[in-house]
Amino acid sequence: MSKLRASGISFLGAIRVSAGLLASAGVCAAIGTTSVAARETVAFPQPYPPGMIIIKQSERRLYFTTGSGTAIRYPIAIGRAGKAWQGEAYVQGKYVEPAWSAPAVVRQDHPNFPAVIPGGSPRNPMGAAALTLSVSEVAIHGTTQSMRKSVGTAASYGCIRMYNEDVVDLFHRAQVGTRVLAIP
């Protein structure tokens, strides 16, 4: 199995896919129907163009602008103190259920993590899908069932965590090249 390293986050056996392949891969079905997506369409009068991702860290919300003064708002987990990323980037890659190996900073705190957590594993912190960013070791991704409670908090090593059902929705909307802005 070849190793793919995207934006400093290690993925093993990850595949870059189109939005149509995500649904055919069964990811939506694997999420189940017992949870309700937390996303909602809201007024968003800021001057950002349609199709842009805005991460408002103080709100712990991600906005995908849709135009006409609206956006789709998703709850997220952001980086813990000293780890939260701010600035501009773009979506560099899109992956369905990527395998994951911990970056060095995570491995320092968790030396007993396995070298690789396979994609689709219930212990894989990347969840159902990941959008890697052009910023080293930062991705917007799903989460494990046990980590769902972290959404709405500052808990990660810099990545943006979403509920799996919400990252799948965003995966369908965002394209490689989509602009991302993280603000306080």
Residues tagged active-site? 141, 159
CB atoms within 10 A of CB 81: 6
Task: Write out the two tokens for 147.
Answer: 């980590």
Task: List alpha helices for 7-121, DSSP H.
Answer: 19-24, 27-31, 104-109
- Using the Cα atoms of residue 62, residue 64, residue 67 and residue 68 in order, give the sign of their dihedral: negative
CB atoms within 10 A of CB 165: 21
In single-letter form, the type of residue at position 144 comes to T
Task: Write out the two tokens for 33.
Answer: 């129907």
The phi, psi pair for 40, rounded to 5°, reads -155, 155
